[in-house]
Chain A
Amino acid sequence: MKDQTQLRDHTFSVLVYNEPGVLAKVSGLITRRGFNIESFSAGDAKEKGMCRLTIIVKGDDRGIEQIQKQIYKIIDTVKVSPIEEEDKIEMEMALMKIKARNGEKMEILQLVSVHKAGVVDTSPDGFVVAMMGERREVDRFIRTFPPNNVLEIARTGVVAMNRWN
């Protein structure tokens, strides 16, 4: 039997009808079955009246398979597609409000530039910066700044799809 204790992040894409309560149905189901949601994002899909969710859940392979089957049982669910690590394209965006005194401003702007992030708002007390990239890059970007300077973080959650095959 496979090692059941191997926990890792699994990404899957779920196409659902945009009915009231559908996000609660999907997220509630994952939690109810004992899994933690690492990331959850939702937006309009190509298909009219439908919504595409990108979900990252931590778990073992068998548990994840079970979760996907259970999500598929929700009547509003049209399709559940696993996104394999090797084929994955993922993006996440973060907004950060960073406090910067005069002596610190240049250093912060340099960090923003090195990470190919952008400044979207400025004030005498600091910046709001935006960063887009893979989840791990966003994590790394956030860790770049001294915690005391970071006032607020907002992240979109990951969106992902498989590459052209």
Chain B
Amino acid sequence: MKMKGSRILVECLKREKVEVMFYYTGGSVVSLIDDLHEYGEGIACYQPRHEQAGTHSADAYARSTGKVGVMLVTSGPGATNTVTGIATAHMDSVPLIVITGQVPTSKIGTDAFQEADITGITLPLTKANFIVRSADDLALTIKKAFYIACTGRPGPVLVDIPVDVQHQEVVFHYPEKLDLKSYKPVTSGHPGQIKSAVEAINRSRKPLVIAGGGVAFSGSTSLLNRLLDRWNIPVVTTLMGRGVSPGNNDLFYGGIGMHGSLFGNYAVVNSDLILALGVRFSDRIIGKPGTFAPNAKIIHVDIDPAEIGKNIPVDIPIVAPVKNFLETLEKQEITCDTSEWIKELKQYRAQHPLTYKNNGRVKAQYVIETANRLFPGNTIVATDVGQNQMWVAQYFKFSHPRCFISSSGLGTMGFGLPAAIGAKIGNPDREVLMVSGDGGFQMNIQELTTIKKYNLSVKMIVLDNAYLGMVRQWQELLCQKRYSGTTMTDNPDFVRVADAFDIKARKISEPGEVEDAIRELVESEESMLLHVAIDREENVFPMVPAGKSLAQAITTFEPFTKNNGVIK
């Protein structure tokens, strides 16, 4: 049976079992969206108020559910608006399909109206991208796109479909199988390397697991925790791995890196064997190169061979999916005695807890602690970027993976609100809490409309210090408190803004109001915004200043700011 390209796309999406997608219409996708509504039964479509936001929502839908996110936009500006969203998903290895309309094939390259070379633009930001030049290739390309996005190390894939291809009528045939000669993700690690890893673990006295997004995204969480319990091995996580080890687990030593806990970084620095699972050793994790885990042998397990040895030298590289590696490890005899090591770590943790000083103003940390106490244990928290993100990472005790939704690698301001929307759409029965700062909240504030339009019960906390707080914190340290470009005292009244969107809102500015306000937020049936005026110049500590080792974390700026901001 012959079908138009646009209808073929819809049929392909159904074959890929897409249940939820996001789109923003425009001149080059009119017939695609028409056919989506005509033939797309079973696919729930959501339209945001901006293509960037919709891309973040699709991304967060994928992060929180494990399914693939889909965003459909028009050519030119529609396509370029998705770029930040694509880059965000790429950095954090999120399976995302972005479908863009394109000017007709005959007009490509002529600077036609709303033409942009989106495959050229997104080349370095996608796992793969395609331009479909004939409807005959469409079904195969969509099949490839989903396969590539979801397998191996996941990532965003963009498919660009010119208008004439959408109208072209061809026979629809959906390929059942794919044979991509040039794309074969690894399925198991090298047995010899795994043997070396087991020997190294058994020789070690101070082993430490660093769990990253690869553990969370591969569904290896419960297996990992079972093994750690059995072998009594402590664990720390990267931002992407938050929730892999429950926040109240005794073997969990928190986050590591620039704003990791003192005890997490202590564990890294003093370990004699690092077993890194599905992490990419970003610069925010390793601190000063060459000083990361100076006493440790490093075993690095990752599905992406290019990550191994990229940022730090590795003693035992293992290219394998984390799950497969752990399943193999489970069958091995692990005999290292960690009791002394655990004793040492516990003692250090007891002496150096995560902490902050109260001073009569609302402390953001206290707000997050209270939210953690009052919200249900399976709450999904979508953060923005900066101090708000770090405070959630430090003080919200996640007990499951896929609950901390955050732009970790790219650090995209404006991510929080649309991410909360995507997470809520994917998890309608769970509480979804957005935590944003006053800066990032205003970068996609138009999405309050989307919340209202689809009647989504998203709970929102805006931690307002009337600064771009994280950058201000750096300026306090490095620029003698010259706060250029970071002062936001001209913010709008967020309660009145919410009111204009017909969303319930409340503002608090006293510590005594926090508990009651968060209780109201939890209990609210409908969406609600809680605007919290926090202590304006509170900093995120501990902090490893740029260029310092993890052993040199600081918990106050006082000695440095007295010294004209020069760190000695």
Q: Which residues of A contact B (CB under 8 A)?
A: 1, 16-17, 20-21, 24-25, 28-29, 32, 62, 65-66, 69-70, 72-73, 75-78
Q: B77 within 8 Å of A by Cβ?
A: no
> In whole Å, how far is B106's beta carbon from the nearest beta carbon of chain A?
16
CB within 8 Å of A: which B124-153 residues: 124, 127-128, 131, 148
Does B123 contact A75, Cβ atoms closer than 8 Å? no
CB within 8 Å of A: which B286-317 residues: 304-306, 309-310, 313
Q: Are A78 and B182 also in contact (CB < 8 A) when A28-B124, A73-B304 are?
A: yes
Chain B contacts of A72 at CB under 8 A? Answer: 305-306
CA distance A21 to B305 in the complex (A): 24
CA distance A96 to B168 in the complex (A): 49
Q: B230 within 8 Å of A by Cβ?
A: no
Q: B546 within 8 Å of A by Cβ?
A: no
> In whole Å, how far is A45's beta carbon from the nearest beta carbon of chain B?
13
Does B123 contact A77, Cβ atoms closer than 8 Å? no
Q: How many residues of B contact A (CB 8 A)?
A: 18
> In whole Å, how far is B289's beta carbon from the nearest beta carbon of chain A?
10
Q: Are A25 and B310 also in contact (CB < 8 A) when A75-B183, A78-B182 are?
A: no
Does A75 contact B128, Cβ atoms closer than 8 Å? yes
Q: Are A17 and B182 also in contact (CB < 8 A) when A66-B310, A69-B305, A72-B306 are?
A: yes
Does A78 contact B306, Cβ atoms closer than 8 Å? no
CA distance A21 to B126 in the complex (A): 14
Q: Are A20 and B182 also in contact (CB < 8 A) when A62-B309, A66-B310, A75-B148 are?
A: no
Q: Are A66 and B313 also in contact (CB < 8 A) when A17-B182, A28-B123 are?
A: no
> In whole Å, how far is B298's beta carbon from the nearest beta carbon of chain A?
13
Chain A contacts of B331 at CB under 8 A? Answer: none
Chain B contacts of A20 at CB under 8 A? Answer: 131
Whose C-beta in chain A lies nearest to the C-beta of B319? Answer: A69
Whose C-beta in chain A lies nearest to the C-beta of B155? Answer: A73
Chain B contacts of A65 at CB under 8 A? Answer: 309
CA distance A32 to B310 in the complex (A): 15
Chain A contacts of B128 at CB under 8 A? Answer: 75
- B119 contact from A1, A21, A75, Cβ within 8 A: A21
Does B309 contact A77, Cβ atoms closer than 8 Å? no
Sorted nearest first, the 3 A-B pairs with minimum C-beta distance are A69-B306, A75-B128, A78-B182
Chain B contacts of A77 at CB under 8 A? Answer: 182
Does A70 contact B182, Cβ atoms closer than 8 Å? no
CA distance A13 to B419 in the complex (A): 43
Chain A contacts of B181 at CB under 8 A? Answer: 17, 78
15 contacts between A and B (CB under 8 A): A17-B181, A17-B182, A21-B120, A21-B123, A24-B120, A25-B123, A28-B124, A32-B124, A69-B305, A69-B306, A73-B304, A73-B306, A75-B127, A75-B182, A77-B182
Chain B contacts of A25 at CB under 8 A? Answer: 123
CA distance A80 to B183 in the complex (A): 13
Chain A contacts of B180 at CB under 8 A? Answer: 75
Does B306 contact A76, Cβ atoms closer than 8 Å? no
Whose C-beta in chain B lies nearest to the C-beta of A69? Answer: B306
Q: Are A70 and B309 also in contact (CB < 8 A) when A25-B123, A32-B124, A75-B180 are?
A: no
Whose C-beta in chain B lies nearest to the C-beta of A78? Answer: B182
> In whole Å, how far is B84's beta carbon from the nearest beta carbon of chain A?
18
CA distance A70 to B124 in the complex (A): 11
Whose C-beta in chain A lies nearest to the C-beta of B128? Answer: A75
> In whole Å, how far is B125's beta carbon from the nearest beta carbon of chain A?
11
Chain A contacts of B304 at CB under 8 A? Answer: 73
Does A70 contact B148, Cβ atoms closer than 8 Å? no
Does A76 contact B124, Cβ atoms closer than 8 Å? no
CA distance A25 to B130 in the complex (A): 12
Q: Pick from A20, A25, A65, A69 the residue with the most CB of B within 10 Å.
A: A69
Whose C-beta in chain B lies nearest to the C-beta of A65? Answer: B309
CA distance A72 to B183 in the complex (A): 9
> In whole Å, how far is B95's beta carbon from the nearest beta carbon of chain A?
15
